[in-house]
Amino acid sequence: MTKRDSVNDQPCGRGVSRRGFIASVGTGAIGAVVAGRAGGSEPGVEAKPAEPTPITLSVNGRSHRVLVEPRWPLLYVLRDVLGLTGTKPGCERGECGACTVLIDGVARYACLTLAVEAEGREVTTIEGLLRGEELGPVQQAFAGEDAFQCGFCTPGQIMAAEGLLRANPDPGVEEVRAGMSGNLCRCGAYPHIVKAVRRAAELRKGGGR
């Protein structure tokens, strides 16, 4: 027996050797493939997409009539169909918050929201917070408090803050942290983000929306 064979035959966990564990995993994988073929599924064959359906989306106060497939996420439609690229794709599985938008004033992940779900509702993206060429209060606060570094997550952070302040115009520090917890900043600008949200609350009190 070689040294490598000896290592592989050593118990792993509850008396199972490395060799036995690998063998059992391999057998399970083969069984899954056989079962898949027996059930009629063929690897590499994709299901045909459903026929596009027309929907009307209200985005930033404007109505858009678009053709979408039922499976398309709102994130894709905003960026690739409507050209609103301020909403960023990050993890695209509801973990980072970079794609956050407001739907009827409530922060939602655009990557987890189907475009067809947004029909008949008001969608607000980062572009919708501008007042012409002027930044909105939350945008001003993020710039003033230096609440970003690379800036990729910033649109989602701002939209989450906007949603928080619409629901709670004067949140405390812990309320801000809880309200922003669904948005990740890889650069770690969290202390500045908290300050920015608090500053935005003050700006909104002074006549901001």
Mean pLDDT by 10 residues, the chain (209 residues): 45 48 48 45 61 96 97 98 98 97 98 98 97 94 97 98 98 97 97 98 81
Residue 46 lies in a domain: no
Range of the domain at 107: 53-205
**Residue 74: which CATH number?**
3.10.20.30
In terms of domains, do 73 and 29 share one? no
Query: Buried b / exposed e across 148-168, counting CB within 10 Å, b at 16+?
Result: beeebbbbbbbbbbbbbbeee
**Residue from 151, 153, 165 nearest 197 by CA:** 165
In terms of domains, do 135 and 190 share one? yes
DSSP secondary structure code for residue 190 in this structure: H
DSSP secondary structure code for residue 54 in this structure: E
In terms of domains, do 68 and 32 share one? no
In terms of domains, do 57 and 122 share one? yes
In terms of domains, do 116 and 167 share one? yes
Residue 164 lies in a domain: yes
Residue 24 CB-half CA count within 13 A = 6
In terms of domains, do 93 and 156 share one? yes
How many distinct structural domains can be found in the chain? 2
Cβ contact 136:163 at 8 Å: no
Residue 44 lies in a domain: no
| Per-residue confidence (pLDDT) for residue 17, from 0 to 100 | 52
| Per-residue confidence (pLDDT) for residue 5, from 0 to 100 | 45
Rounded Cα distance, 67 and 176, in Å? 38
In terms of domains, do 28 and 59 share one? no
In terms of domains, do 119 and 71 share one? yes
Q: Quick one: three-class SS letters along 130-182? A: CECCECCHHHHHHHHCCCCCCCCCHHHHHHHHHHHHHHCCCCCHHHHHHHCCC
| Beta carbons within 8 Å of 73's beta carbon, 6+ residues apart | 92, 110, 111, 112, 113, 114, 115
